[in-house]
Chain A
Amino acid sequence: PPCKARLYTNHWAVRIAGGPEVADRIAEKYGYRNMGQIGDLKDHYHFFHSRTIKRSTLSSRGRHSFISMEPKVEWIEQQVVKRRIKR
């Protein structure tokens, strides 16, 4: 049977007000790479961290986790692999 545990990736979705420059600065400060805005969702950015585990059943913890303490970071979520099937 498919694994029921959550599978965390090394991608994060972040909501940062202030524009792409602010997002770039915060990403660089904590070792992330800002991959750009998520689709058409304003102020939502895709952050990638190359030094965290690519797939893990545990959410990632480390110095990079302190990003959530940044005042301009309104929301952050480590991305989880979802099981999706074609119908």
Chain B
Amino acid sequence: DYKPVPPLSQTSPAQNSVAQNNIFYNDAKWSSMWYIHCSDDVHNCQSDMNIMGAWKRGYTGKDVVVTILDDGIERTHPDLSQNYDPQASYDVNSNDLDPMPRYDATNENKHGTRCAGEVAAAANNSHCIVGIAYNARIGGVRMLDGDVTDMVEARSLSLNPQHIDIYSASWGPDDDGKTVDGPATLARQAFENGIRMGRKGRGSVFVWASGNGGRSRDHCSCDGYTNSIYTISISSTAESGRKPWYLEECSSTLTTTYSSGENYDRKIITTDLRHRCTDSHTGTSASAPMAAAIIALALEANPSLTWRDVQHIIVKTSRAGHLSASDWKTNAAGYNVSHLYGFGLMDAEAMVKEAEQWKQVPAQHVCVETADRQISRTIRPEHLVRSVYKATGCSDNANLKVIYLEHVVVRITITHPRRGDLSINLTSPSGTKSQLLANRLFDHSMEGFKNWEFMTTHCWGEKAAGDWILEIYDTPSQLRSQKVPGKLKEWSLVLYGTSVHPYSTQQKDRFIDPLQPEDEFTEEYNGPCDTECNENGCEGPGPHHCINCLHYFLKFKNNTRMCVSECPSGFFRDDRKRCKKCSSMCETCVGSRSDQCMSCRTGYHLIEGSNTCAVSCADGFYLDSDSNICRRCQENCRRCSASNVCTECKPGMSLQGHKCQMTCNPGTYFNGHRRTCELCHRACATCAGTGIEACTKCADGYLLEDWRCVLTCSPGYYLSELTSDNGQVQRFCKKCDNSCFECLGPGELNCSSCNSGYNLEAGTCVVSTVCKDESWAEGGFCVLVKKNNLCQRRVLQQLCCRTCSQKG
């Protein structure tokens, strides 16, 4: 069973790394491969993928076959030719056996060759780099350099499944932030066939690069390939641990490897087209092949690992390390997980160690729980729809029962006028919240989601039964013209997992030192163990006698331990299943710091956003008594009531209605769109907006006429003055009486000119027409016409000429 360590350096001591037993190769860019030399003093990185550690254990990918589904592979590249495997290769675009890429002036088809080098570039051949699985066999499928159809994808994904162990794909649907697409019928069939029958029944391993649409605010849950339970979705982190600009986040990501990041982060180097070497390989395309290679090391350590075993080992061994994300959380099974990085950075050495002694996990059960089929729920703008479903985990059917979760899929149908305004969360019975979908700014589609499957890995290891909460938010963007509500048509929950604890079959041999005399050992206890002890047994009946705990443990000052099913109030569980104390003010927490509280002890309130506890809510917050949380007041509000009604604004703001808006100087108004004070029209002393129509008070020299400020009164208006209580004289233009064309004052006796057909007589406008014959209407009717001031109407004026002409 001995596996030889790869050959050591044959070059000068100056080229050796500091540690005495470090590996050294003469490949041209070997010293630049910082993600492999992590642990030495020269390259030092904050978290290590421990590739060197796996190599030192003798695992280099020997007898493992990896294929790159892409635009071809330069099999003649000096760093790839040694490990090239024609049986793991095909040209689907040209339908022949040679996957050599098509060469052109732009080197468009370099992608596959770059991915391949990361996996299995030969070691110690002076060329370029060393692949992480440098003894693996590497092939390529040319399938992107032509029309990509469902059939092309299926042919690629089902190439020689008894020979190929790992399929690595660094492509997918458009990452433009508005596409929802995934594998069609044949590709899905290829996945299912692969995991059922590939690798002689152990299942093909599909590794997929997560989306690169970070700039487009894309969300990888809209990519059906990374969203699939059959693929291992890989994220990237930069050397600094920061999120690269291209990274998307979603709940289906499983794990992370290094890639390039900002200009100051070190780059990934790999083989390039035309026998070259490059440091331009970037994005999640650089991460997926790394992950494929690390999985190859694990498969060499244990070739009988199934496709699910591989995912379990990844979940168990990946670490948060220095990866920076604001949403790291510990799920109820004790795993740290985030939407950016899944379960964290891959650890090659830990994976091979687990693989060496791994026992296959129990059979997968699939439990479909149809939550909401009958009732269509309306999703109103700026509202939340919450649907709670009490899952049983199919406990009544032994063949379907799921107790311990792996993947969770929500199949959902929604109609909506603007898909990008939707966000969807799922909360497990244990309280783990997965963001299944975030708002996508550029997704203006009206197609909604039709039976789309969102997947989360965040509940891995948790219990399936209990209340599952689906929440759908509609946050209308400014670009949305219709405020038509959407509808949640139906949703169902698909739980994948096992009915038996997946690790209950893992055996650990107890170490027995043959040199220790027998009477040094305590007498063995054969009685029953406490229910909180795991399969390793106990030395007594109590929970403090367990050798290892099934769930969590408390450690006391006298160094003893006690196994518990849940951490008590005031404690949190760390990634080693130990219950540790929260900060003194926290009742529940995710860490020991004072800013890691989830709820507070009696007498304290949780501060929204900071996760700290305080005795009272500070300025800018109000107490939500129902949840005992100090929530933020509205923007710019200094103090607000318990129902979040603002009562006092911050300096420089004034309360207008219930909102705080900037107080602008006279002559300016607050532009809510640009959020600045802008000048009023010159005719306005104060105003409510732009333009002469928005004046609320006129500038000096201007007169208010209806809603406008004018220099002089328009025809049909007269200048009026009003003295206010404080002695101020206000001058404004008032409309003349209807009988006047122009006037000097109010009423019908102050006309200065008349409409046509009327004569001005002593300040009054009278009908000027000469009456002809007396009309039939003269009499009571015409008296009424004159009384009601209708003589101005031409028809009536003619009809009642005589009566209208009379004064009075």
Contact = CB atoms under 8 A, between A and B. Distances in A.
Interface of A: 2, 9, 11, 13, 35, 38-41, 44, 46, 55, 75, 77, 79-87
Nearest to B192: A41
B190 A86 contact: no
26 contacts: A11-B149, A13-B150, A13-B151, A35-B95, A38-B151, A38-B154, A38-B158, A39-B154, A39-B155, A39-B156, A39-B157, A40-B190, A41-B158, A44-B154, A44-B186, A55-B147, A75-B185, A80-B150, A81-B147, A82-B149, A83-B148, A83-B174, A84-B172, A86-B170, A87-B175, A87-B212
Can you list the 6 inter-chain pairs with the closest CB atoms, starting with the nearest? A39-B158, A40-B158, A79-B149, A39-B155, A87-B212, A87-B285
Contacts of B111: 86
A40 B204 CA distance: 13
A85 B172 CA distance: 6
Contacts of A11: 149, 151
A79 B151 CA distance: 7
A50 to B, nearest CB: 15
B234 to A, nearest CB: 10
Most buried by A among B161, B189, B285: B189
Interface string B196-226: 0000000000000111100000000000000
B632 to A, nearest CB: 38
Given A77-B185, A87-B170, A82 B157 contact: no
Given A13-B186, A81-B147, A81-B149, A86 B154 contact: no
Contact of A87 (B185, B193, B211): B211
A86 B194 CA distance: 23
B283 interface: yes
Given A40-B194, A77-B186, A86-B70, 5 more contacts: A41-B190, A80-B149, A82-B148, A82-B173, A83-B148
Interface string B365-384: 00000000000000000000
Contacts of B179: 83
A57 B380 CA distance: 36
Interface majority SS on A: helix, strand, loop or mixed? strand
A86 B144 contact: yes
Contacts of A41: 154, 158, 186, 189-190, 193
Nearest to B170: A87
B71 A84 contact: no
A22 B62 CA distance: 42
Contact of B150 (A35, A79, A87): A79
Most buried by A among B149, B154, B156, B212: B149
Contacts of B754: none
Given A41-B154, A44-B186, A46-B151, A84 B193 contact: no
Interface majority SS on B: helix, strand, loop or mixed? mixed
Contacts of A81: 147-149
A83 B71 contact: no
Contacts of B71: 86
Contacts of A82: 148-150, 153, 173, 181, 184
A2 B185 CA distance: 24
A2 B160 CA distance: 34
A40 B422 CA distance: 39
Interface in B164-183: 170-175, 179, 181
A35 B151 CA distance: 12
A75 B189 CA distance: 13
A44 B260 CA distance: 41
B159 interface: yes
Contacts of A46: 151, 155
B240 interface: no
Contacts of B190: 39-41
Interface in B226-253: none
Contacts of B194: 40
Contacts of B184: 82
Given A41-B189, A79-B150, A86 B158 contact: no
A87 to B, nearest CB: 4
A69 B269 CA distance: 55
Nearest to A47: B151
Interface string B384-396: 0000000000000
Nearest to B108: A86
B271 interface: no
A85 B174 contact: yes
A46 B185 CA distance: 14
Interface in B1-17: none
Nearest to A81: B147
